[in-house]
């Protein structure tokens, strides 16, 4: 009778909270556990609820941290002095309830930072519980309390708990317990629950689970004569063991169909006076099942500009400068770019002041070196440009530097070294003179421009101009950039167009720019250089000045690179990335779960390219059934104020514009997704994307695979999508041309 009254109390308690808006399934089931957590009074129910909330942590909109901590504290407060737990608070410790508590607390432990007081408190509690279980071992397995003969339920729970804590099948106690579990036929519980617990216990200690047991679970889940609590438990076991596939999706859909509640979802057996409703147990296992197939919600990304600023600032050397890389001696070039970046981040921060002091100390030394060598000294140029950037030099000092730079030229409009006049050195001289305020019409600048444009029509490299023989080595992006940056203020697009086109041609297949795209020996390709952040950003900024705008593409390229607040391999890389990001709004990271969970909540359009209307109509029917919504079908024109599901060919959209973190490339009849190869003829790919007004789920496939797409949506698998992308591969195994589920292989990409 008590169980029925509890159920009535719970239903009355949650009814006022029922809303009219749709809610993602996991959010609704979590809300039920959160709202009713104070009504769970057995160690088992509290433990299962804690396990469910831990599994759902960061996968729902609400922050569950406080709820998890409350349940953790409640369990620890109920622990007995002997290290174990009883059925209720104050009950005699037993192996079954201690095992539930150990499993739950051990899972919660992963959410707390090591070394903190809370982590240590939970860890001590779990260790005490493990010690209680080990002390209760009785020869072949475990009884309910110490000194009693082994029975199935306490033995299987002890193995599961110890396995969660890291014990393996070769441990003497567990080894004997596994033999006992394999041979016993007396379960003291329903056969289905015994089967579920056996699989979880075996799996936790790394013991081989007989495939027949898994197939038996599938068979049971396909039957109708199954209590709700048993169905929830077996579904959790199947999902734990197999992850997402068409079998688990079927089980999840059936489990969802028997949920109760309109906006807060719970599961319960049919109440009766004599039988427990198992409402917390069933709801916890159902929540666990949906949490396992859900992804963490992607955090809405702020422009990483600020975090990168802080990281760059931290790399300042004790002398005030920045090195080429972290830990390298300070260099003038790295410090110049670092200070330019930090100038955008902070207003006269102490780190900037220290950097400028270092530059001032190097400026006089570098100037002296240039005087003595009588040629352009690039470290001097970067100290000069830094001081000019921060308006530190007065007019007299500027005039002295103009005189110095002109005094080291080799001839009118030419600067160089022992090899003769150099495009690189000449470009640095032009940059410096213009920064010092020299007129673009100055004779040296005009002569330098004339000489540089006479050398080549397709970029610049090192120039050898000694004696009667002169020629230029193959052009390099670094030298060409330096020259074009210098000439940009004093030249027209027409004058530089051939060089700009050459520079565009040097873009690598990866999307960025390397110094030399490809290296050949005797006409044979030897290797390809990797693009660098520095050369890529400098190139893009230069090209943008002349109307070639690759900035969004390179933003996607940059955001797709692995990084930890810093970018690329050098300080210059990171500084230039910061300057670039200060102008941009990067696309947030997004996964399939982010999009799928919003279909019941937001306005979605189903759009298609080419003649896919019939397929779109059938996909619409499946989506409406799965998500209890009513989406609109249209032929694609443009993305407007909504979210979208898009049926399209692989080359209809550039996925990098909507999700730079998934690399999709099509070449001939091969698809490359994050470097993995697939064939277009039998592959469907689902990729999430972001637009200003909402989200996009792209469904890419070639015509001829419409039936695969229809079958995929009809299966219900899309309701439980997770990961960065889904690849579905079709193989017509029986050669009948009809798509069956067992002919589809799914692969979730992370």
10 Å Cβ neighbour count for 250? 19
The tokens for 331 are 């260099």
Cβ 50 vs Cβ 103: under 8 Å: no
Structure tokens at 118: 């809370």
Query: What is the pLDDT, as a whole number, of residue 276?
Result: 61
**What is the pLDDT averaged over residues 193-204?**
96
Strand duo 604-608 + 632-635: pairing: parallel
The gap from C-alpha 36 to its chain's centroid, in whole angstroms, comes to: 33
Report the C-alpha gap between 322 and 572 in whole angstroms. 9
pLDDT value at position 45? 94
Q: How far apart are CA 266 and CA 7, in angstroms?
A: 11
Residue owning tokens 């994050």: 674
Residue 506 contacts residue 450 (beta carbons within 8 Å): no
Please determine, for residue 363, whether its predicted confidence score (pLDDT) is greater than 90. Answer: yes
**Angle of CA points 566, 571, 576, to nearest 5°:** 75
Q: Token match 């901590």: residue?
A: 69
**Rounded (10°) CA dihedral 177, 178, 179, 183:** 100
Average pLDDT score over residue span 178-198: 92
Quick: pLDDT tens for 292-305.
999 888 876 555 66
User: If pLDDT is split at 50, 70 and 90, which confidence band does 269 have?
Assistant: confident
pLDDT score of 7:
53
Give the model confidence (pLDDT) of 3-20 as tens digits: 444 555 555 455 544 444
The confidence band for 452, taking pLDDT boundaries of 50, 70 and 90, is: very high
Task: Give the phi and the psi of residue 585 in degrees, each rounded to 5.
Answer: -120, 100
Question: Mind listing the pLDDT tens digit for each residue in 589-640?
Answer: 889 999 999 998 888 999 999 999 999 999 999 999 999 888 999 999 989 8
The two tokens of residue 664 are 């999709």
Residue 21 has a pLDDT of: 46
Given a cut of 90, whether residue 214 has pLDDT beyond it is yes
Taking 70 as the threshold, does the pLDDT of residue 420 lie above it? yes
Token representation of residue 250: 């079927």
d(CA 517, CA 503): 10
Is 80 exceeded by the pLDDT of residue 719?
Answer: yes
Of 103, 109, 44, 110, residue with least CA distance to 78: 44
Collapse the DSSP code of 612 into the 3-class scheme (helix H, G, I; strand E, B; otherwise coil) and give the result.
coil
pLDDT for 4 equals 42
* Beta-carbon contacts of residue 649 (< 8 Å; ≥ 6 apart): 609, 610, 700, 701, 702, 703
Identify the band that residue 259 occupies on the pLDDT scale cut at 50, 70 and 90.
Answer: very high
Residue 168 pLDDT > 70, yes or no? Answer: yes
Three-class DSSP category at 416: strand
501-523 residue pLDDT tens: 999 999 998 889 998 887 777 77
pLDDT of 347 reads 63
Band (451; pLDDT cuts 50, 70, 90): very high
Percent of the chain's residues with pLDDT above 90: 67
Q: 274 pLDDT band (50/70/90 cuts)? A: very low
DSSP string over 463-517: EEEETTEEEEPPP-HHHHHHHHHHHGGG--HHHHHHHHHHHHHTB-TTSSB-SSS
Mean pLDDT score, 446-464: 92
Domains annotated for the chain, with CATH where assigned, are 592-749 (3.30.379.10)
How many whole angstroms separate alpha carbon 699 and alpha carbon 608?
Answer: 9
Rounded to two decimals, the pTM is 0.71
pLDDT of the residue at 380: 96
Which pLDDT does position 16 carry in this prediction? 47
Q: Give the integer Cα–Cα distance in Å for 271 and 372.
A: 96
Q: How many helices (H) and strands (E) does the chain have?
A: 28, 16
Identify the weakest region by mean pLDDT among 107-121, 578-592, 674-688: 578-592
Reply yes or no on whether the pLDDT at 113 is more than 50: yes
Look at residue 519 in the predicted model and tell me its pLDDT.
77
- How far is the C-alpha of 107 from the C-alpha of 708, rounded, in Å? 39
State the Cα–Cα distance between residues 366 and 379, nearest whole angstrom.
Answer: 7
CA separation, residue 182 to residues 155, 156, 164, 516, 723 (Å): 11, 10, 20, 65, 36
- Please, are residues 282 and 270 in contact by the beta-carbon 8 Å criterion? no
CB 517 within 8 A of CB 525: no
Does 699 have pLDDT greater than 90? yes
Torsion of CA 612, 618, 621, 627, to 10 degrees: -70
Structure tokens at 607: 């759009």
- Ordered alpha helix ranges (H), 57-109: 65-77, 95-109
Q: Smallest Cα–Cα separation from 429: which of 418, 411, 497? A: 411
Q: Is 118 helix (H, G, I), strand (E, B) or coil?
A: helix
Q: How far apart are CA 404 and CA 30, in angstroms?
A: 73
pLDDT at 585: 67
Separation CA 87–CA 67 (nearest Å)? 22
Give the pLDDT score at 467.
62
- Token reading at 527: 């290797």
pLDDT, averaged across the chain: 89
DSSP state, 299? P
pLDDT above 60 for 685:
yes
pLDDT band at 2; cut points 50, 70, 90: very low
Q: Are 383 and 364 in contact (CB under 8 A)?
A: no
CA-closest candidate to residue 597, choices 740, 720, 442: 720
- What is the per-residue pLDDT across 141-151, written as a single tens digit (0 to 9) for each? 999 999 999 99
Give phi and psi for 532, each to the nearest 5. -115, 155
pLDDT at 1 (0 to 100): 38
């Amino acid at each position: 009778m008590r169980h029925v009254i509890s159920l009535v109390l719970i239903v009355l308690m949650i009814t006022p909270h029922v809303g009219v808006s749709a809610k993602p399934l996991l959010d609704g089931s979590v809300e039920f556990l959160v709202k009713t957590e104070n009504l769970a009074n057995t160690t088992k129910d509290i433990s299962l609820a804690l396990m469910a909330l831990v599994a759902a942590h960061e996968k729902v909109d609400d922050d569950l941290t406080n709820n998890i901590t409350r349940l953790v504290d409640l369990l620890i407060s109920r622990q007995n002095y002997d290290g174990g737990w009883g059925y209720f608070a104050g009950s005699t410790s037993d192996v079954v309830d201690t095992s539930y508590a150990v499993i739950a607390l051990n899972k919660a432990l992963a959410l707390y930072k090591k070394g903190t007081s809370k982590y240590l408190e939970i860890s001590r509690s779990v260790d005490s519980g493990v010690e209680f279980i080990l002390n209760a071992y009785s020869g072949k397995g475990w009884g309910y309390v110490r000194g009693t003969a082994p029975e199935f339920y306490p033995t299987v729970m002890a193995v599961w708990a110890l396995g969660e804590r890291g014990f393996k099948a070769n441990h003497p106690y567990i080894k004997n317990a596994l033999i006992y579990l394999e041979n016993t036929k007396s379960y003291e519980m329903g056969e289905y629950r015994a089967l579920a617990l056996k699989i979880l216990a075996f799996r936790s200690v790394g013991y081989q689970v007989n495939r027949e047991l898994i197939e038996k679970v599938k068979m049971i889940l396909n039957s109708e004569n199954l209590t709700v609590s048993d169905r929830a438990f077996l579904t959790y076991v199947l999902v734990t063991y197999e992850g997402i596939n068409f079998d688990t999706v079927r089980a999840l859909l059936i489990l969802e169909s028997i949920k109760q509640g309109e906006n807060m979802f719970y599961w319960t057996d049919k109440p009766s006076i004599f039988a427990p409703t198992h409402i917390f147990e069933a709801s916890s296992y159902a929540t666990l099942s949906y949490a396992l197939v859900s992804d963490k919600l992607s955090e809405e990304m702020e422009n990483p500009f600020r975090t990168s600023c802080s990281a760059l600032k931290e790399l300042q050397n004790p002398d005030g400068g920045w090195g080429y890389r972290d830990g390298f001696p300070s260099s003038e070039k790295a410090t110049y770019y670092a200070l330019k970046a930090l100038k955008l981040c902070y207003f006269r921060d102490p780190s900037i002041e220290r950097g400028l002091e270092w530059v001032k100390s190097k400026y006089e030394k570098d100037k002296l070196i240039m005087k003595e060598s009588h040629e352009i000294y690039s470290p001097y140029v970067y100290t000069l440009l830094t001081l000019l950037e921060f308006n530190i030099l007065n007019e007299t000092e500027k005039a002295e530097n103009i005189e110095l730079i002109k005094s080291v030229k080799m001839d009118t409009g030419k600067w160089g070294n022992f090899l003769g006049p150099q495009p690189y050195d000449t470009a640095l001289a032009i940059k410096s003179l213009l920064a010092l305020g020299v007129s673009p019409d100055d004779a040296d600048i005009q002569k330098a421009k004339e000489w540089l444009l006479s050398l080549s029509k397709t970029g610049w490299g090192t120039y050898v101009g000694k004696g009667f023989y002169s020629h230029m080595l193959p052009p390099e992006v670094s030298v060409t950039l330096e020259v074009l940056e210098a000439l940009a203020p004093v030249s027209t697009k027409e004058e530089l167009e051939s060089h700009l086109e050459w520079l565009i041609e040097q873009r690598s297949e990866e999307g960025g720019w390397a110094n030399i795209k490809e290296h050949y020996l005797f006409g044979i390709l030897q290797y390809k250089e990797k693009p660098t952040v520095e050369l890529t950003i400098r190139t893009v900024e230069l090209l943008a000045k002349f109307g070639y705008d690759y900035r969004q593409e390179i933003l996607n390229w940059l955001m797709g690179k692995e990084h930890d607040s810093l970018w690329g391999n050098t300080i210059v890389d990171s500084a230039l990335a910061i300057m670039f990001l200060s102008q941009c709004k990067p696309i947030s990271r997004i996964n399939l779960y982010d999009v799928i969970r919003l279909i019941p909540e937001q306005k979605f359009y189903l759009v298609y390219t080419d003649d896919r209307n019939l397929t779109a109509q059938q996909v619409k029917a499946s989506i409406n059934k799965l998500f209890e919504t009513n989406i609109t079908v249209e032929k694609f024109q443009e993305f407007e104020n909504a979210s979208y599901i898009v049926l399209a060919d692989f080359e209809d959209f550039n996925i990098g514009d909507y999700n730079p973190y998934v690399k999709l490339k099509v070449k001939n009849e091969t698809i490359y997704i994050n470097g993995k190869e697939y064939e277009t003829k039998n592959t469907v790919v689902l990729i999430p994307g972001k637009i200003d007004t909402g989200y996009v789920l792209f469904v890419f496939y070639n015509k001829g695979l419409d039936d695969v797409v229809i079958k995929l949506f009809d299966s219900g698998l899309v309701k439980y999508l997770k990961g960065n992308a889904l690849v579905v591969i079709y193989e017509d195994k029986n050669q009948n041309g009809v798509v069956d589920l067992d002919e589809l292989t799914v692969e979730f990409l992370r």
